[in-house]
Amino acid sequence: MNITRRIGPDPHANGAQTSSLQGCPDILELEDGDFAIIGVDITDAAIGKLRFGAGCGPDERIIKIPRKTLVFAKADIPETL
């Protein structure tokens, strides 16, 4: 697995601070075209609140990222498969 690029701006651009001041929420594009998300693991809190038809397998986690991370990344997300 290789990361090809960040989707959206650097979360620390222009001196921006992240909540923990250590990591940062991020969206990364992988060489196979899939995406990896860096965010807060909310699996334990969210698993019982999933809507009908949604599920989280044993090898999956539910990750929370700030709304602005996804909104700012929108321009970098491909429109087609």
d(CA 79, CA 11): 23
pLDDT the model gives residue 81: 77
The pLDDT, as a whole number, for residue 40 is 93
As a whole number of angstroms, the distance between CA 29 and CA 26 comes to: 10
pLDDT tens digits for range 36-72:
999 999 999 999 999 999 999 999 999 999 999 999 9
Band the pLDDT of 21: cuts 50, 70, 90: low
Q: Which amino acid is at 34?
A: D
Please give the Cα distance from 66 to 25 (Å, whole number). Answer: 7
Identify the three-state secondary structure at position 54. coil
Q: What proportion of the chain, given as a percentage, has pLDDT over 90?
A: 65
Contacts of 60 by beta carbon, 8 Å cutoff, 6+ apart:
none
